[in-house]
Amino acid sequence: MKADILINNCTIITMNETRDIIYSGVIATKGKEIIYVGDLEGAKNIDAQEVIDGTNHLVLPGLIDTHAHAGHGLTKSLGEGGVEIGWDIMMEHIYYRSTTEDFWHAEAQLSGLEKLLFGVTTGVSMLGSSPRFDSMQYVDAHVAGMKSIGIRDFTCIGTPNPPFPKHFRNFKDEKVVDEYSLDFDDSFAITEKVVKKHNKTNEGLTYACPGPSYIGYRKELSVDENILVNKTMHEIAVKYDTQLHGHSYKGDIEFLAKHCPEVLSPRVFTAHVTGISNEEINIIAKTGVHVCSGPSTTAYIKERCPVIELIDAGASVNFCTDASSPDRNYDLLPKLRVGYRLHRSHFNNDKLLTPGKLL
């Protein structure tokens, strides 16, 4: 058997249903395909152009980071995150009124490389702290940057958080050439345009889905306006058979269950989900909504995401990074450590979330 690369004598953590671990294992690749995973005995007839010594190394499938924000890679350490201290206001000013296509392209390359450095081969990118939704050119620049790195990227764009209208600037040759304002419903058309253009492209490296800043309810909009946002984002996801991603907090799931229950389905994966009620836990488990918990995020500091209760109820839960700024990076393994310590401490039980379960 001919192979391009052979990783020899490594310990393989397979992550299959039986949690098999292969000691003195071998992995062989040809082109974009993994053509062999097994022990040394089965690899005797593999002839590889390049052999990598895997002694004393673990090899496991690429990690998946289910929630992060594009842009943060170039705003690291500008401040500490948090709505109350004005970080979101500063980020909106930077992302909406102070960036060019080059910014979004370079940030995608930087973040893509950082993800790969930490073993993340698939990641989610919401375009901005709260999505920049005014123009396709910035989305295109981000997609091109991620493509150049070779990482699999889920680009998300949708309705941002209130208040509205949002104010934008465009630049040419470092000069402002255009300034304008858009309302919440102006985000609907570009969301569909992004998903239609980019979903399932670049030979499986690029996906796109509606990524509103919130899935649920925001008090700055009326009940009818909130329903319109959620239903429109859901309809776009259904039309193009893709996912729906955003942030949800206490009360959001109950709002959806009451006013637009069709939104709650397995195509939804939503971040943070802190402070939710027992009723919301049951709704999530029943509808198949996926929860992305960021144990190192500001959202978790304010209120707990009931990861253990959600799992016990039968819900799908994972840990995410929430991007690389302002006080963290794309390394998922420390997030797992923080996650299990938080939940073990809460329940005073040092047997919760074992390493295999965390992975």
Q: What is the pLDDT of residues 273-289, one digit of tens each?
A: 999 999 999 999 999 99
pTM for this prediction: 0.93
The predicted structure's pLDDT at residue 208:
98
What pLDDT, on a 0 to 100 scale, did the predictor assign at position 16? 87
Q: Using a pLDDT cut of 90, give the percent of the chain over it.
A: 86
187-196: pLDDT as tens digits: 999 999 999 9
Residues 6 or more apart whose CB falls under 8 angstroms from that of 41 comprise: none
Cα 132 off chain centre by:
16
Closest CA to 28 of 55, 56, 48, 54: 48
Where in the sequence of the chain do the CATH 2.30.40.10 domains occur?
Answer: 2-59
Residue 132: per-residue pLDDT: 96
The reported pLDDT for the residue numbered 17 is 86
Domain 2-59 of CATH type 1.10.1740.10: no
Task: Pick the closest to residue 243 from 272, 212, 283 (CA basis).
Answer: 212
Q: Look at residue 356 in the predicted model and tell me its pLDDT.
A: 87
Non-local (6+) Cβ contacts of 196 within 8 A are 240
| % of the chain with per-residue pLDDT over 70 | 98
- The pLDDT tens digits for 80-122 are 666 566 788 899 999 999 999 999 999 999 999 999 999 999 9
**Residue 83: what pLDDT?**
58
Please name which of 121, 125, 94 lies closest in space to residue 108, comparing C-alpha atoms. Answer: 125
Residue 312 confidence (pLDDT): 97
Mean pLDDT of 118-144: 96
First to last CA, the chain: 32
∠ CA 195-145-230, rounded to 5°:
25
Q: What is the pLDDT of residue 81?
A: 62
What's the mean per-residue pLDDT of the chain? 94
- Helix and strand totals (H; E) in the chain: 11, 16
**CATH 3.20.20.140 domain residues, the chain:** 63-358
The rounded distance, in Å, linking the Cα atoms of 103 and 101 is 5
| Listed range (113-117, 242-246, 297-301) with the worst mean pLDDT | 297-301
User: Which superfamily does CATH assign the domain made up of 63-358 to?
Assistant: Metal-dependent hydrolases (3.20.20.140)
pLDDT, tens digit (0-9, with 9 covering 90-100), for 30-57? 998 999 999 988 898 999 999 999 999 9
Report the range of poorest mean pLDDT among 181-185, 217-221, 325-329.
325-329
Structure token pair of residue 260: 């637009």
Quote the strand ranges of the chain, DSSP E. Answer: 2-13, 21-30, 33-39, 47-53, 58-59, 63-65, 69-70, 120-127, 152-157, 166-172, 175-182, 206-210, 244-249, 268-274, 290-293, 316-319
CA 119 from chain centre, in angstroms, equals: 15
Which residues, 6 or more positions from 73, have their beta carbon under 8 angstroms from its beta carbon?
A: 107, 108, 110, 111, 114, 323, 324, 325
Provide the CA 164 distance to its chain's centre, in angstroms. 25
Amino acid at 164: F
Q: Distance between CA 221 and CA 275 in Å, rounded?
A: 21
